[in-house]
A and B are shown apart, each in its own frame.
Chain A
Amino acid sequence: DTGVSQNPRHKITKRGQNVTFRCDPISEHNRLYWYRQTLGQGPEFLTYFQNEAQLEKSRLLSDRFSAERPKGSFSTLEIQRTEQGDSAMYLCASGGGTGELFFGEGSRLTVL
């Protein structure tokens, strides 16, 4: 197992376009998280899955954001009608029984 994998690593898009990011967690982990991180800031919680169930979603999350985790394996984060303010690093993390998070390298989004 090579850890948490995220794709694509970088995405440049024009304002108004839709983008989708994929996260493959550590295989035995049942918890999966999405965070957003802007330059010089700490990660900001977006949403959390326990297996395939989305149990928590940040109130700050716009309706343009949606996440899925079919079959409790990989997860996708889609942003519709992107805005320049969506430019950030989108981090995925997974967790198992130890309670800590294991992060991927992130997907950097640039909206022009």
Chain B
Amino acid sequence: AQTVTQSQPEMSVQEAETVTLSCTYDTSESDYYLFWYKQPPSRQMILVIRQEAYKQQNATENRFSVNFQKAAKSFSLKISDSQLGDAAMYFCAYRANYGQNFVFGPGTRLSVLP
């Protein structure tokens, strides 16, 4: 079975600084998708960024970028120029290409310090 691990239960970053959240996963599949979702306090989860496993180029969305290391099964999220609104729980998620079940990690709580 696929599993997703986030080894950092909590992280903090100074406003305007850069922070990296870690995620590793375990799968025997070669074709899959990886996602980072953000869940602000008492708000719904929203997609931050996605990566297709067949793409070698790391995905980027404005201040958010990933470091996808397929051989190492690692998928970290880098947030640049952190803003107070980035404070939230961040979940890493995996979905096999031919499956529909999304597997989520336990999450990392990010605090942004003014």
Chain A residues engaging chain B, CB cutoff 8 angstroms = 3-4, 31, 33, 35, 40-45, 48, 50, 55-56, 91, 93, 99-106
Contact = CB atoms under 8 A, between A and B. Distances in A.
Interface residues of B, number: 21
Given A31-B100, A48-B100, A99-B95, A42 B105 contact: yes
A3 to B, nearest CB: 8
Given A56-B101, A105-B43, A105-B44, A42 B95 contact: no
A42 B44 contact: no
Nearest to A48: B100
11 contacts: A31-B100, A33-B102, A41-B106, A43-B104, A45-B103, A48-B101, A91-B45, A100-B35, A100-B50, A101-B35, A103-B45
Interface of B: 4, 33, 35, 37, 43-47, 50, 91, 93, 95, 100-107
A81 B35 CA distance: 35
A51 to B, nearest CB: 13
Contacts of B91: 42-43
Contacts of A3: 44
Given A99-B95, A100-B35, A42 B47 contact: no
B45 A99 contact: no
B107 A56 contact: no
B43 A42 contact: no
**Most chain B Cβ neighbours within 10 Å, of A42, A91, A106:** A42
Contacts of A105: 43-44
